[in-house]
Amino acid sequence: MAKEQAGHRPALLDEALGPGGPIIVFDNVWLAFDDKVILRNVSFTLQTGHTKIFLGASGAGKSTILRLILGLLKPDEGRIFVNGEETDRMPEDDLMAVRADLGMVFQEGALFDSLTVRENVGYKLFEELRWPTEQANARVEEVLGFIGLSDYIDRMPSELSGGQRRRVAIARAMAAKPRILLYDEPTTGLDPITALTVDEEIVKLRDVEGVSSIVVTHQLRDAFFIAEHTVARSGRDVTFDRAAGHKAYEAEFIMLRDGRIAFEGTADELRAFALQDEYVHSFLS
Amino acid sequence: MIGKFFRGLVTRPFYYRDVIEQFEAIGVGSLTVVILTGMFTGMVLALQSGFTLDQFGARSMVGRLVSASIVKELGPVLTGLMVAGRVGSGIAAELGSMMVTDQIAALRALGTDPIRKLVVPRILAGIVMVPILTVIASAIGIVGGWLVTSTLLRVASSVYWNAVVQGLYMQDVWMGLIKPFVLGFTIVSIGCHVGLRTEGGTQGVGRSTTNAVVVSSVAVIAVDYLVTQLLIVLMY
């Protein structure tokens, strides 16, 4: 089904979505709930291994974009491509295959209350991919080690703090090694130190694991940290440095205002734009 | 949702472990309330009918009245109402909470169809366990009737049990077995449907829970009437 749809794409789009092309494409997407227009003519692309950070006021349509990428919502108009597959009209059964390469960290974590941390993190491996138990457990222990929560493996979500729940949600999203991770307000409501830990996990996943990511947030401190830092690994140690050279262009900001893209560019370009635009200036200050 | 349920029954993936968990939660979990309801219903039915039948010198017929009433009507309906109160509300609250905390969206994001994972096991458990619970409730109700008849009404046990058997026809037994299948399906479907349509945070969960109990309780009575009428036409 998805392949058939891809066959009807214009040649230029086919070429753009080929090897080395963007991993996510939004093409003139519109969405309204009843009379309220949420997204107006939104277009952007996400290159493999890059990060897009969506900023904007509450209700600007940031989280809606993530739900559209996952296929949890369908656009009224426009087209959405994920991993080269057009997903905007794809039936739910076909979307399951597209979602195999996507991980999502929901606001507040959305961990399953009745499952332990191990079962939450390994949910996809145990229930959907049916990995052998030993292999799945090894992967769960590996990702929990990656986010520094190995000691919490047999706890229930209710026994974790807000920051720990958010990190377990990141572990769950990355367990099946997706190539794209979507973060919905990953640091909202967390104290600055815990938020920084979550930011570092996002940067590590991008720079160490090569995961493409979209981060929705209105926490500017976290947004700029993710955009302007890179991680270097030597053995088991990782160090965070300021992104320079081509790395500084791998994370871009998109600012949404009333459902439209008001700005798209790097951190430095955003700062420069804020000097000219009153709304962006007031948002950043 | 019902169409997706039937598709989920015959196509993969099928979540066996969840089905077993729901059999335990809906069946074993409701056993105590159903046993107590059946017992006291049988006891009060024997007590009331005993004094009424006394006016006609027919105290020995208590067993007939108790068995026919419980097997045909009170067993299925009261079990249905108890399950609606306990299970229907529980399902609506659980699925409603999962909706408002994005757990259902998380399931879909992880590649799981919520209907297959959450609805199919629950409806299957309802269809299988409500009839079993009804048989238990009816049996316990008849035993409760015997306790009151033999101790308070002073009717010999053999007379009571003879009357119980005489009061039951095969059609009655079928009616008592067919109704709970439909009731189990109705109660759990309503709980799932209401739960999965929850919105509006914790207030919404409260609303869904109340709606599930009210709608499924009324549905139990209405479906009981419709199925009874249909079965009378077909079997009697």
Per-residue pLDDT tens for B165-208?
Answer: 988 888 889 999 999 999 999 999 999 999 999 998 899 999 99
**Nearest of A276, A238, A268 to residue A252 by alpha carbon:** A268
pLDDT value of position B5: 80
Distance of CA A144 to the CA centre of its chain: 19
Count how many pairs of residues, chain A against chain B, have C-beta atoms within 8 Å: 50
> For the ranges A141-155, A210-224, A230-244, B145-159, which has the lowest average pLDDT?
A230-244
Choose among B97, B101, B108: nearest Cβ to A108.
B101
What is the band of B25 on the pLDDT scale with cuts at 50, 70, 90? Answer: very high
Which residues of chain B make contact with A70, given a CB cutoff of 8 A? 105, 108-109
User: How far apart are the C-alpha atoms of B189 and B216, rounded to whole Å?
Assistant: 9
pLDDT value of position A152: 93
User: How far apart are the C-alpha atoms of A49 and A23, rounded to whole Å?
Assistant: 9
Specify the pairing of strand A102-105 against strand A180-184: parallel
Taken as a whole, chain A contains a residue count of 285
User: How far apart are the C-alpha atoms of B236 and B220, rounded to whole Å?
Assistant: 22
Residue of B nearest to A100 (CA): B111
Percent of chain B exceeding pLDDT 90 equals 79
Question: Max CA-CA distance within chain A?
Answer: 57
Mean pLDDT for all residues in chain A: 86
Give the mean pLDDT of A128-145. Answer: 91
Specify the pairing of strand A260-265 against strand A77-82: unpaired
Residue A210 pLDDT > 70: yes
- Condensed to tens digits (0 to 9), the pLDDT of residues A223-241 reads 999 999 888 877 777 788 7
Strand positions, DSSP E, A83-137: 85-86, 102-105
Choose among A92, A102, A113: nearest Cβ to B109.
A102
Give the type of residue at B161.
W
A51 within 8 A of A214, measured Cβ to Cβ: yes
User: How far apart are the C-alpha atoms of A27 and A41, rounded to whole Å?
Assistant: 8
- Condensed to tens digits (0 to 9), the pLDDT of residues A31-88 reads 998 888 999 999 999 988 899 999 988 888 899 999 999 999 999 999 999 988 899 9
Long-range pairs of A246-253 with CB within 8 A, sequence gap ≥ 24: A250/A47, A250/A49, A250/A50, A250/A51, A250/A206, A251/A50, A251/A51, A251/A52, A251/A53, A251/A226, A251/A227, A252/A50, A252/A51, A252/A52, A252/A53, A252/A227, A253/A52, A253/A53, A253/A54, A253/A55, A253/A223, A253/A227
Percent of chain A exceeding pLDDT 90 equals 40
Domain boundaries, chain A: 2-91+179-284, 113-177
Domain boundaries, chain B: 16-235
Give the mean pLDDT of A255-274. Answer: 89
pLDDT value of position B110: 92
Residue A222 pLDDT > 50: yes
User: How far apart are the C-alpha atoms of B85 and A7, rounded to whole Å?
Assistant: 53
User: How far apart are the C-alpha atoms of B40 and B32, rounded to whole Å?
Assistant: 12
pTM of the entire structure? 0.83
User: How far apart are the C-alpha atoms of B88 and A32, rounded to whole Å?
Assistant: 34
Q: Is A80 helix (H, G, I), strand (E, B) or coil?
A: strand
Residue A33 neighbours by CB under 8 Å, 6+ apart: none
pLDDT value of position A20: 63
**Is B102 in Cβ contact with A96 (below 8 Å)?**
no
Choose among A70, A111, A112: nearest Cβ to B109.
A70
**Dihedral of alpha carbons B97, B101, B104, B110, sign:** negative
Candidates 3.90.700.10, 3.30.200.210, 3.30.360.10, 3.40.50.300; correct CATH number of A2-91+179-284?
3.40.50.300
ipTM, 2 dp: 0.82
Residue A17 pLDDT > 70: no
**Is B111 in Cβ contact with A100 (below 8 Å)?**
yes
Tell the burial category of A242 from Cβ atoms under 10 Å away from its Cβ (0-12, 13-18, 19+): exposed
**Is A128 in Cβ contact with B112 (below 8 Å)?**
yes
Long-range pairs of A230-236 with CB within 8 A, sequence gap ≥ 24: A230/A203, A231/A200, A231/A203, A231/A204, A231/A207, A232/A207, A233/A208
Give the type of residue at A163.
G
**Is B109 in Cβ contact with A104 (below 8 Å)?**
yes
Residue A274 pLDDT > 90: no
Q: Is B24 on the interface with A (CB under 8 A)?
A: no
Interface of A with B in 49-88 (CB under 8 A): 67, 70, 72
pLDDT value of position A10: 56
Residue of A nearest to B12 (CA): A128
Beta carbons within 10 angstroms of residue B143's beta carbon = 13
Which residues of chain B make contact with A127, given a CB cutoff of 8 A? 15, 110, 112, 117
Tell the burial category of B21 from Cβ atoms under 10 Å away from its Cβ (0-12, 13-18, 19+): middle
Bridge partners for A36 per DSSP: A33
Residue bearing the bigger pLDDT, A58 or B231: B231
Residue of A nearest to B15 (CA): A127
